[in-house]
Structure 1
Amino acid sequence: MIPFNRPWSGARAVEFLNEVCGSTHLSGDGRFTKLCHEWLENILGVRKALLTTSGSGALDMAAILAGLEAGDEVIMPSFTFSSSANAIVLRGATPVFVDIRADTLNIDERLIEAAITPRTRAIMVVHYAGVACAMDSIMAIAARHGLTVIEDAAQAIMASYRGRPLGSIGQMAALSFHETKNIISGEGGAILINDPEIIERAEIIREKGTNRTAFARGEISKYTWVDLGSSYLPSEIISAFLWSQLEVAQELTQRRLLIWSRYHEHFEAMEQAGVLRRPTIPEDVVSNGHIYYLLLPDEAKRDGLIRALRAEGISAVFHYIPLHSAPAGLRFGRASGSMQQTDDLSRRLVRLPLWLGLDDGVDVVADAVKRALSPAA
């Protein structure tokens, strides 16, 4: 059996976890949390990084920091996970869905301006599969209309756009360290802040609406409830596991890219023959190899491939049900214009197994795909 995902634990994870368990500091913002914050700030080039209990929590914080209120609108793609839209809806605002590009499956920047109304407050971009959106164009649109840009970079750690790490471009960004991501802590995430004016409020929101972080730094004599907030702070146990991954993040990313590239080479001839389409990586983008997907000619062929692989003990899966057509999407959001690309591509996409240690298993998966899509099959 080749599973779709298998979480990787480094050699030092147990060492760091034992250190925490033997200490007197199990709650958050201890030694390992600080190490993670410094690494994210230095490597990604962001003003402030704050670990959260999940990528969803980071998006919730971003929505509060963006000042979203009832009646506001946020432009975003429909081809993403529910957490992206939930963060908006929980503030009483409306997700406005825009179609995606056929090449990268990211939000089509050419359609954003037409979706802007007097109620628009922000643009949320999602860097699908660790491939950057067209951020220069999107930031220019946001600047013209006075909008906040939130990067949902849940899948995008160690990826970049024109030399800039993803998560460092918009006013805010969210990372995920869920066990299905490239760098993991089981559950966990981080909010990245690039606007210095909202750093202090981000610390307050993360600490249940109190100014406890300032108190811990000795800046005030006591702390109290001063703003909205919740318990977004992860334990030191989660941070210790995460640190065991961050300190070798470059190596993990390169290993993952080797697997991605091996798949890509396998399917070059099939793409040239028109049997399938491989992922597209623009020249100004550096991917992190988060997802390797194939696009089949139609939904029936996609579903047939998934069944054929399952019969050989290989787990391959499709991805999102577009949010604009989901029950909650119909209730809480609205689409701006045609969603043709989103509807079409989501029905034809299949994700192949990709995890550290798969290695020669890539050849097994690729050969099974070739058999399933051969004329004889």
Structure 2
Amino acid sequence: MASEFIPFNRPYTTGKEQGYIQDALESLHLSGDGRFTKLCHQWLEQRTGCAKALLTHSCTSALDLAAILLDLRSGDEVIMPSFTFVSTANAFVLRGAIPVFVDIREDTLNLDERQIEAAITSRTRAIAPVHYAGVGCEMDPIVAIAKRHNLRIVEDAAQGIMANYKGKPLGAIGDLGSFSFHETKNIMSGEGGALLVNDPTLGLRAEIIREKGTDRGRFFRGEVDKYTWQDVGSSLLPSDPTAAFLWAQLEDAEHITSERLAIWERYHAMLAPLEQRGLLRRPVVPGHCTHNGHLYYVLLPQGTNRDAVLGKLWEAEISAVFHYVPLHSSPAGRRFGRTHGDLAHTTDLSERLIRLPFWIGLQETQQQRICETLGAILGR
């Protein structure tokens, strides 16, 4: 008898999305910054403590907005990990800046804060830490480095909503932060994102850039008698029906996070025996980090043929996948960026990583099958 196929991801809905979207349609405010957008902004600001939250089309758009806010010029440099999605680098490359790729930590796979300072030059303008798998980077030393060198911090917290570093929400620690609400994320709206403005001095300009470079927001608040072109900008507002979908998810954020953490913990317990046998390594979460159960990955032993392992899992009707191809090894990364150091951990760990199926509704019996199948493959 054939086994049931286990997909890698299955988007979760709360059941309230359709009703809220209908409310948005009936309000006849279908463009951005309607009632549901404002509800999402309020939730994000209250949950994170940021000075201003602004919904965007995507986390990519939020990073684009952040890069414009930094007034980057051609030749400026931004320090970031190579083990990240292309949007982290693209946002700055589009402004003419150069991504400077620094290695990741062996334990959390986050930007190695111990290597940042040596990568700083007279052209460095910002640091872009990426919180991998919803586990916080070591932000205290990163903030200290930024202060010493008068640098901005843009947190790529695409995977980090509802997660904390030493009690501080990810995305709300640096000058600017970004969330993703893509359908693969814990809290989602299909496509979507948000910029968190933590430096209050950047709030009004962020609003203007997001509104095509106009002071339209001030006009609707009655602060000016007409709105005009004030600055460089773009159209970065999602529609209010999209925000309505997101609002249903944000209202249920605590439940969604607890469900995902339960799945994560089951994986972690089931895979402990395989780690003890040396067949894999489980994720590491420092004690001062509260993660959000975004994903569950394992690291295969060095020398293991990852493609063969993934192929065997697919044959068993289990959709497991790898993750980022390091940016420094890509054609565009070599063209637009530069590398600091040998990035040994980035190269090694990225080639050994497998992400396991993870979605709300994944049953314990399915997880057992995944772990038993993986153990059988690796134990041969």
Is structure 2 residue 112 aligned with structure 1 residue 108? Answer: yes
Write the distance in 1 (CA, Å) between the matches of 2:48 and 2:228. Answer: 32
- Please say if 1:10 is aligned against 2:14: yes
AA aligned opposite 1:88: F
Deviations 1:170-217 (A, max 9, x none): 000010000000000000000000100010000001001111011111
Equivalent position amino acid for 2:369 in 1? V
Q: Distance in 2 between matches of 1:252 and 1:31?
A: 23
SS in 2 for 1:240: helix
Which amino acid in structure 1 is aligned with residue 74 of structure 2?
Answer: A
| Residue matched to 1:367 | 372
Aligned to 1:288: 292
CA drift at 1:323: 0.2
From 259, 263, 282, give the equivalent of 2:263: 259
* Pair 1:186 & 2:154 matched: no
**Matched ranges for 1:185-224 at <5 A:** 185-224=189-228
* 8 Å CA contact 1:299, 1:347 repeated in 2: no
The alpha-carbon deviation at position 300 of structure 1 amounts to 3.7
Offset, 1:272: 1.5
Question: What SS does the aligned partner of 1:182 have?
Answer: coil
Please name the residue that 2:248 is paired with: 244
How far apart are 1:298 and its partner, in Å? 3.0
Report how far residue 143 of structure 1 moved: 0.3
In structure 1, distance between residues paired with 2:138 and 2:27 = 45
Residue in structure 2 matching 1:51, options 52, 55, 63: 55
Write the letter of the residue equivalent to 1:364.
R
**Could you say which residue in structure 1 is the equivalent of 2:353?**
349
Give, in angstroms, the shift of residue 255 of structure 1: 0.2
Post-superposition offset of 1:60: 0.3
Given the alignment, which residue of 313, 317, 320 partners 2:317?
313
Instruction: Name the counterpart of 1:166.
Output: 170
Pairing of 1:66-215 with structure 2 (within 5 A): 66-215=70-219
Looking at structure 1, the residues matched to 204 and 296 of structure 2 have their Cα atoms a distance apart, in angstroms, of 38
Cα distance per residue 1:80-99 (max 9 Å; x no partner): 00000000100000000000
Identity %: 60
- 1:347 partner amino acid: E
1 CA distance for matches of 2:238 and 2:305? 43
| 1:270 lines up with 2:270 in the alignment | no
How far apart in 2 are the matches of 1:272 and 1:363?
17
Quick one: which amino acid aligns to residue 301 of structure 1?
N
Q: Partner letter of residue 60 of structure 2?
A: S
In 1: Cα distance, 2:25 partner to 2:254 partner = 27
Residue in structure 2 matching 1:40, options 28, 38, 44: 44
How much has 1:43 moved relative to structure 2?
0.9
Q: Which amino acid aligns with 1:173?
A: G
TM-score by length of 2: 0.98
Counterpart pick for 1:330 among 316, 334, 337: 334
| AA aligned opposite 2:99 | P
Q: Structure 2: how far apart are the matches of 1:7 and 1:238?
A: 15
Q: How far is the alpha carbon of 1:308 from its aligned partner?
A: 1.1
**Unmatched 5+ stretches in structure 1:** none
Gaps of 5+ in 2: none
Counterpart-to-counterpart distance in 1, 2:155 and 2:372: 36
Equivalent residue letter for 1:371: A
Counterpart residue type for residue 137 of structure 1: P
How far 1:302 moved relative to its partner? 2.2
Q: CA deviation at 1:140?
A: 0.2
Please say if residues 279 and 375 of structure 2, whose CA atoms lie closer than 8 Å, have aligned partners that are also in contact.
no
SS in 1 for 2:305: helix
Structure-2 separation of matches of 1:64 and 1:370 = 48
Quote how far apart the aligned CAs of 1:339 are.
0.7
Q: Distance in 2 between matches of 1:234 and 1:363?
A: 40
Q: Aligned partners of 1:359, 1:58: CA distance in 2, in Å?
A: 34
- Which letter does structure 2 place at the counterpart of 1:248? D
Cα deviation, residue 359, structure 1: 2.5
What letter matches 1:15 in structure 2?
A: G
Deviation of 1:354 after TM superposition, in Å, equals 0.5
Give the distance between the partners of 2:323 and 2:345, measured in 1 at CA.
15
TM-fit CA distance, 1:44: 1.2
SS of the residue corresponding to residue 267 of structure 1 reads: helix
> Aligned equivalents of 1:79 and 1:370: distance in 2?
27
The SS at the match of 1:3 is: coil
Report whether the alignment pairs 1:21 with 2:25: yes
C-alpha displacement of 1:287: 0.5
> Counterpart of 1:59 in 2: which secondary structure?
helix
Q: Deviations over 1:232-251 (max 9, x none)?
A: 00000110000000001011
Q: Which moved more, 1:6-15 or 1:126-135?
A: 6-15
Deviation at 1:299, TM superposition (A): 5.6
Contact 1:256–1:288 (CA under 8 A) maintained in structure 2 = yes
